[in-house]
Structure 1
Amino acid sequence: MTTTTPNASTPRIALVTGGSRGLGRSMALALAAQGTDIVLTYRSNQAEADAVVAAIAALGRRAVALPLDVSTTAGFAGFAAEVGRQLAGWGRERFDFLVNNAGVGVYAPFAETTEQQFDDMVAIHLKGTFFLTQKLLPLIADGGRIVNVSSGLARFSYPGYAAYAVMKGGVEVLTRYLAAELGPRRIAVNTLAPGAIETDFGGGAVRDNAELNARIAQSTPLGRVGLPEDIGDAVAALLSDGGRWINGQRIEVAGGIHG
């Protein structure tokens, strides 16, 4: 765990799961750039998390990196307690924004998907998002917001991603229920669904396979594959003051692919 010091007395605070790399890193940095302090989680690579904390410090914001395995619900109570302790360092009891981003993919044709692969996707994307959000609810400020990260694959289909996409479809349904049930606390809940992005997700195929990258770009009206900054900036926009009246929505950030 590492921290930096604040330079503002009453900043908004966002908790971004999986914030040490890829899309989560971009989200954390974009939120910090618009004045939000960050609690980010990492699964095992503390060095990556430390680098993001340092980058946030360079932006003049405060950050803390905490370990979390979103596939293991048994650790959620202890994690929530640690978040509470960290918030005390801000002089706060609650944080403002939760971004459920952490996750991994699996590529396997439907006929070859194993039960273990399926169960792993349930634990990480569906069960983890459901019960981590539940555990953190007492720590989310009234009037706060939640963003659940889904995927364009919940709308359009590419063979080999059935197990992953099914979980993201479940996350999108969960978002609508949370938006309805958390309304009395004025907590807005939305889904953000990235398209294909140049990261190391899925072994970095979209980033590193020139043929695949070009094929996706040709199918995208804006003419290119997405970049991590596209998603980070979208999350920052959604969690800005201008996004306050958006609730219960699925927002796809994919350049218009398969529109």
Structure 2
Amino acid sequence: MTQTKKIALITGGSRGLGKNMALSLAKKGTDIILTYNTRQQEAAAAVKEINDLGAKAVALQLNMGDVKSFDTFFTSLATVLKDNFQAEQFHYLVNNASMGVHASFAATTEEEFDRLMNVHFKGVFFLTQKALPLITDGGGIVNISTGLARFSTPGYAAYASMKGAIETLTKYLAKELGPRGIRVNVMAPGAIETDFGAGAVRDNKDLNSFLASQTALGRVGLPDDVGGVVAFLCSDDAKWVNAQRLEASGGMFL
């Protein structure tokens, strides 16, 4: 099979930051496979937007918190690659799928901790492991972290700890996958106006104003501030960028 275009797999690419990453990559000519958990209609709408940009796109269902479902997912992915893209592998993996819990350290439950662990660390660890045979040599992986792994804001102890683990994992992946020419980097957003965390940054004016006041560029972020950074990391322009943490926060809490 001859691949004429590059393909990116973006988990959680049907909405929010993931959707913007998908659109940004599509604008650069990259075909997209995006995953969604439950919101199939949003995924279908995202696929249409990508198609309208002239790129191919397919949406697959994936629950990042259920590692036992990954074998079935990769069977479906292999079929989609062959049937929709005439390909056997893809070039870029973006580990973006996310869910949030806002709770103080003292109030965080074991159930909340496990949900965060399964989606943000265990899921990413084993999804990436199972993806390795399908990622082309010379490809790339982008793991999505958070500014909260650098600065501390009460209420995110568990979430930020999982992302800190992802940042460490990224370095190990870069080292171990280097012989295959696969680059592995972290992109860490700051506060962004999305529906993440029940839309707190977007909808809570006091919180929005406070975070803007603590950001060098004087505002909180928008999805368009982030997608292009991932598109850069998933391109030949970033061919010598490896094992790096790139924060897109406008300069928060400097």
The reply to whether TM is greater than 0.5 is yes
SS in 2 for 1:110: coil
Instruction: Tell whether the 8 Å contact from 2:102 to 2:197 is kept in structure 1 after alignment.
Output: yes
**Code of the aligned partner of 1:49:** A
How many equivalent residue pairs? Answer: 252
Between 209-218 and 142-151, report the one with greater CA deviation: 209-218
State the match for 1:220 in structure 2: 215
Q: CA deviation at 1:238?
A: 1.5
Instruction: Tell whether the 8 Å contact from 2:104 to 2:155 is kept in structure 1 after alignment.
Output: yes
Note the alpha carbon deviations across 1:18-61, whole angstroms, 9 max, x for none.
Answer: 00110000000000011000000000111000000000010011
Instruction: Supply the distance in 1 between the matched residues of 2:232 and 2:175 (Cα, whole angstroms).
Output: 22
State the match for 2:69 in structure 1: 75
Structure 2 residue 198 is the aligned partner of structure 1 residue 200: no
**Code of the aligned partner of 2:71:** A
State the match for 1:3 in structure 2: none
Instruction: Supply the distance in 2 between the matched residues of 1:149 and 1:18 (Cα, whole angstroms).
Output: 11
What is the TM-score normalised by the length of structure 1? 0.96
SS in 1 for 2:192: coil
State the match for 1:33 in structure 2: 27
Matches within 5 A, 1:51-62: 51-62=45-56
State the match for 2:230 in structure 1: 235
Instruction: Supply the distance in 2 between the matched residues of 1:229 and 1:194 (Cα, whole angstroms).
Output: 11
Structure 2 residue 171 is the aligned partner of structure 1 residue 155: no
Note the alpha carbon deviations across 1:50-93, whole angstroms, 9 max, x for none.
Answer: 00000001001100000000000011011111111111122211
Runs of 4+ more than 3 Å apart: none
**Code of the aligned partner of 1:130:** F
Structure 1, gaps ≥5 residues long: 1-7
Structure 2, gaps ≥5 residues long: none
Instruction: Supply the distance in 1 between the matched residues of 2:59 and 2:86 (Cα, whole angstroms).
Output: 18
Q: CA deviation at 1:9?
A: 6.4
Paired residue for 2:252, among 242, 252, 257? Answer: 257
Note the alpha carbon deviations across 1:116-156, whole angstroms, 9 max, x for none.
Answer: 11111110100000000001110000000000000000010
SS in 2 for 1:157: coil
Instruction: Supply the distance in 2 between the matched residues of 1:55 and 1:162 (Cα, whole angstroms).
Output: 36
Instruction: Supply the distance in 2 between the matched residues of 1:103 and 1:128 (Cα, whole angstroms).
Output: 10
State the match for 2:121 in structure 1: 126
Instruction: Tell whether the 8 Å contact from 2:3 to 2:87 is kept in structure 1 after alignment.
Output: no
**Code of the aligned partner of 1:253:** A
What is the TM-score normalised by the length of structure 2? 0.98
SS in 1 for 2:106: helix
Instruction: Tell whether the 8 Å contact from 2:215 to 2:251 is kept in structure 1 after alignment.
Output: yes
Instruction: Supply the distance in 2 between the matched residues of 1:199 and 1:192 (Cα, whole angstroms).
Output: 17
Structure 2 residue 132 is the aligned partner of structure 1 residue 137: yes
Instruction: Supply the distance in 1 between the matched residues of 2:9 and 2:139 (Cα, whole angstroms).
Output: 11
Paired residue for 1:14, among 8, 25, 40? Answer: 8
Instruction: Supply the distance in 1 between the matched residues of 2:208 and 2:159 (Cα, whole angstroms).
Output: 20
Query: Identity over the aligned pairs, expressed in percent?
Result: 59
Instruction: Supply the distance in 2 between the matched residues of 1:249 and 1:13 (Cα, whole angstroms).
Output: 22
Q: Over the residues paired in the alignment, what is the CA RMSD in angstroms?
A: 1.0
